[in-house]
Amino acid sequence: MERHPLNITTNSAHQHALLLQYPQYSTGPRMVMLHGSGVAGEYTWTYLCNYLRGWSEILLLDLAEMGQSRFALDMPWQASSYATQLQELLERLDWQTFDLAAYSFGGMVAWAWMNQHPLDGRLFLLEPAMLGGVEPATLVNKAEAYRQLSHQLMAQPDRLDLYREFLDIVSPVRPDNPQADELTATRLAENPAGFARALNTVATELMQHADEFVQWQAPVSGMSFVGSLSPQEMHQRHQMLAEQNLPSWQYVSIAGADHRLVYTHSRQIAAAMNKMV
């Protein structure tokens, strides 16, 4: 694997990304990977990328205000702002055909980007923010929790208990592991403003598009992953997604995982993804 840091200024953002190249798979497809709220792309995806096989190049970008990327303009607090950032980077790199993997908040960004651009490749979703339940009320309730937490974080960014409260929202039945919770909270607290903005963005989109999200269908073939410890309504939503998109969509429940599945169960996720190359 070859690692190439990229620092590119586009119209909307000063962008940082990491390009991974795999010479042994030079004829394979490319992939773009979108991280979740608050944590940079490289940290989110490094473990999983160690187990991926078949992709020639993988692009791990930092969404703006997270990692090393920053908006250069006063962009709206909407998923479309991050989608604009993504599209500008793709145009600069001349990437037109690729697979797309998106985790949590990154799933919301992927949705916004696909609303404007056709995806010429497969889609991999890891507990995406917009597919949390089969009823609009479930999404609206989660949006209200996110918005309240976002406002608290903007006012008191040093309160580590607020980051643990986020874990209570996304992983209410996670294993009892205070050390792991502390590590996650500390990592999220490294960029409180970017994390709070991402949460507020998710809340806004869930409020405005709850009815759409419970009916959304994948525009391309792909696969979604949900931790077995995550809420049942999320599993139901992804089962529905697979049923709506048969036979081109697969739903995978990762045993023993919660919302942090991309960090804790990278090998299992990569093994499933590798089968689709």
Spell out the domain ranges in the chain.
2-132+216-274
Q: What is the pLDDT of residues 7-36, one digit of tens each?
A: 999 999 999 999 999 999 999 999 999 999
Average pLDDT, whole number, for the chain? Answer: 96
- Mapped to the 3 state alphabet, what secondary structure does 102-122 carry? EECHHHHHHHHHHCCCCCCCC
Q: Which residues pair with 170 in a beta bridge?
A: none
Q: Where are the beta strands (DSSP E) in the chain?
A: 2-9, 13-21, 30-34, 57-61, 70-71, 99-103, 123-126, 222-227, 249-254
Task: Give the model's pLDDT for residue 184.
Answer: 87
SS3 (DSSP) at 222: strand
Task: Give the model's pLDDT for residue 207.
Answer: 98
Cα–Cα distance for residue pair 21/33, rounded to 1 Å? 14
Task: Give the model's pLDDT for residue 190.
Answer: 87
Cα–Cα distance for residue pair 179/7, rounded to 1 Å? 34
Is it the case that residue 250 has pLDDT exceeding 90?
A: yes
Instruction: Name the CATH superfamily for 2-132+216-274.
Output: Alpha/Beta hydrolase fold, catalytic domain (3.40.50.1820)
Across 45-53, average pLDDT: 97
Is it the case that residue 177 has pLDDT exceeding 90?
A: no
